[in-house]
Amino acid sequence: MELGDRELVRYSRQMMLRGFGLEGQKKLFSAKVAVAGIGGLGSPASFYLAAAGVGYLRLIDCDVVELSNLNRQILHWSNDIDRPKVESAAMKLSLLNPNVRIDAINEKITGENIEDLMEGIDIIVDGQDNLQTRMIINEFAVKNKVPYIYAAVYGMEGYLMTIIPHKGPCLKCMYPGEPPKPEQFPVLGTTPGVMGCLEATEAIKLITGIGTPAVGRLLVYDGADMSFQEITIKRNLNCPVCSQNSSHTN
Ligand SMILES: [Zn+2]
């Protein structure tokens, strides 16, 4: 993508940030980010990534929009019901920023197809609703040394940790057991709103090199008492995914 002076105006306020500038904007234009799930987390995350001028977004989701999604999945509107989420999201995001190249992939992420789905991707942003798929993403991320921004929500609580393979703990270091079976859980719409914004912030930081990512720090947001806490997460030296002894590392 060419960056005309006129188009740069769109990004002028973020380029004023210390350490950002034209160089940071060029890095964003060159970045390829996958948003794995375009629901409560993926909607705000992809919205801010597109607004910030990330050059390429790959949206991956296999669901269609349902009425019960609309309290939180802000890229999908009432007239999108029954439409594939990736289509609904791609349409809104390209209206927001026509300079962003968007691929809408209507597929479920599995251990078999993840290598293809994530091909050429620089950063993966978590938009999942279950730990099982997150573990598949985590394994891919560690094996291919692709940063993975993990986030999850439950009710009015949100969690975030940035996983930079081999520089900090992975998701399996944090959740060593078997992932529980996916089930429906309560969500106030603003919770994934907060966490999706935080995910986009982390992605923009990693791409531009500004700030300090939440590596080895699980951020816990509690909307009920309006607090943020941090829990230090250490690498598990025997982690089956990211340790020296694992079959996934070379
Ligand atoms: Zn690990």
Confidence at residue 226, expressed as pLDDT on a 0 to 100 scale: 98
Confidence at residue 246, expressed as pLDDT on a 0 to 100 scale: 77
Q: Cβ atoms within 10 A of the Cβ of 184, count? A: 7
Distance 246 CA to ligand 1 centre (A): 9
Confidence at residue 247, expressed as pLDDT on a 0 to 100 scale: 62
Q: Tell me the pairing of strands 217-222 and 123-126.
A: unpaired
Distance 78 CA to ligand 1 centre (A): 41
C-alpha neighbours within 13 Å on the C-beta side of residue 185: 17
User: Residues 145, 247, 128, 49: what is their CA dihedral angle, to the nearest 10 degrees?
Assistant: 0
Phi-psi region of 62 (alpha: psi -120 to 50; beta: other; left: phi over 0): alpha
d(CA 36, CA 218): 20
pLDDT in tens, the chain (250 residues): 456 777 899 999 999 999 999 999 999 999 999 999 999 999 999 999 999 999 999 999 999 999 999 999 999 999 999 999 999 999 999 999 999 999 999 999 999 999 999 999 999 999 999 999 999 999 999 999 999 999 999 999 999 999 999 999 999 999 999 999 888 999 999 999 999 999 999 999 999 999 999 999 999 999 999 999 999 999 999 999 999 877 654 4
Question: What domains appear along the chain, each with residue ranges and CATH number?
Answer: 5-232 (3.40.50.720)
φ/ψ (deg, to 5) at 37: 110, 120
Distance 27 CA to ligand 1 centre (A): 28
Distance 109 CA to ligand 1 centre (A): 20
- pTM given for the model: 0.96
Distance 235 CA to ligand 1 centre (A): 6
Which amino acid is present at 167? K
Distance 168 CA to ligand 1 centre (A): 8
Distance 133 CA to ligand 1 centre (A): 16
Single out the residue of 200, 203, 202, 187 nearest to residue 73, CA to CA. 187
Confidence at residue 182, expressed as pLDDT on a 0 to 100 scale: 86
Distance 243 CA to ligand 1 centre (A): 6
The β-bridge partners of 161 are 150
Distance 172 CA to ligand 1 centre (A): 5
Distance 148 CA to ligand 1 centre (A): 12
DSSP tag of 215: B
Confidence at residue 68, expressed as pLDDT on a 0 to 100 scale: 98
